[in-house]
Structure 1
């Protein structure tokens, strides 16, 4: 294809690599958007700039792409494009307008735009994106749990009951019931985007089930009519996987492949799963960081509001005053030092429980080792070496 054939078109310069899972995930989304735009006759083209490590990886990745690419052997052009557009991470999609004469016409956040708006983002002009943002704000301002979770063909969610059949053996059969979406009005609701094929999802789901049950029990004991519910929004690849995964969950679900699932992912700009979005009793979004808050504070995170999180952070600060400034921890040979975000700490993944952490941590700066204060198993220096 001649370069001159691209004149007059909106161009996406796509920096990606086969070896990086987020690239492969985005690639599937981008292919769908690209093919839909091409079928609509849109004046759009993509040029792939590979960050693959060898020709075989490039060819394997490239064979699924319906667009153009810079030859793998053309290292100079690839390096020049990376420098020109200051590419620091992948996937990266740089959008160029046909009359691209100034930097204002270039959008460097094409990945976010595709995830957020899909085909509606085309032709990626400032006017179009401003229009989409105004519409997005209007939707958020008028958001209710009903308009989030219903569509013209469906006003219900799935609930499951377990029917035990006793014969020569005991079997469990899952029967789905229909529950009106309107029954969620006035409740705090978690939208749980997850899938059985996703290992982080499979690992997080049992934890979420435990926290969900503790929150439900605490609210029941408290009385007053306050309630919490979760709705599973499936990203599973087939009906049997959906049924198998949903069968482990004690909450509600959207039907498999319901179009609302994709709408929600775009509306909340969900790029990774598992994702837990919290909707307040008034139907407005409380936070998109429900998963992180569960990992940090367990059931104490409820109702996930800014005020609650601020209160928990203050409690953590107060509790930290009585913690030892340093500890030896079973499983690590070096002395760990207590740090906070203001003294060398920050968001981290606990090396003991693999959950996210924030605020206070015990840290070995030399090894990049960090654990929650609650995960510390204090030992003598000699014991920490032996346990290791």
Structure 2
């Protein structure tokens, strides 16, 4: 990325004949990268520091510009004030235009104050006018090979090969019909005929589940097999229960292969982006919704793993399960630093002295050099 930015910088100014800017990248990943970058920068004596002086300067700049990750590119005005702290994103958006605007003392990205009830789409930029963040209604392409986002003003001014869809506002309540408005139809299991999307909530269905997963995620194989068995078992009960698959697979052949043995319908490949953005969930998640579209639980996978058929039968009746106990709870994204079990299941003990250090209940009993704190189960349904 850093090398690409230097090439863009050089090409942009070769065409424009402008020498008013200097590109300085303060973070380096390796000595070889550092040497490569130095060849394209001003004289090394202005940019390279040694030892403690180097560390102190880096820490000072990190604090001054609130640097949270790399790469970061801060563009300054002659006064030393920040012109933009989104230099990387502006270069990625339109490199030549970004450099031209910087040389004129202007930033590429702009935005406006939100009106009443208008949503602000943090870190999302309009592909056409470069409003960032987008304020108000956001539109985009669900095709995973496309990176298109549009504000409402640019919707009619931009042409695209695929359908442009309206994004759902996170945390806002929608009916099931509204949630699935971008899904024209569902793919029947076993390569059957297409299914009308509205059949999901027909026949007095109390709850439905959306299964977000992908073939490339290895833990999904075993869970999908278990879920399929339980799903077929619950279909014999008096209460219907529906599951729909939304893929995060990298290509359509993987998508078809993964869903081949699923007994429930699927959202067509490249049509699930609106749902994934709205629910803001991980690649391996089972979300249960009521017939009104309200979230019953985001931890469906955890419940299925712990409670089995009881979970599906309870949801099918439109009822809620009792909360997960400390011993059942799955800490997604956390692993035990003792036995390296991932994800951690059960009680989680944290060491605030070590920082990023957690132990499961078994390893906690073996002791630790610092005091450990039992982390309470979050209530984030």
TM-score normalized by the length of structure 1: 0.48
More helix, by proportion: 1
Give TM-score scaled by structure 2 length: 0.49
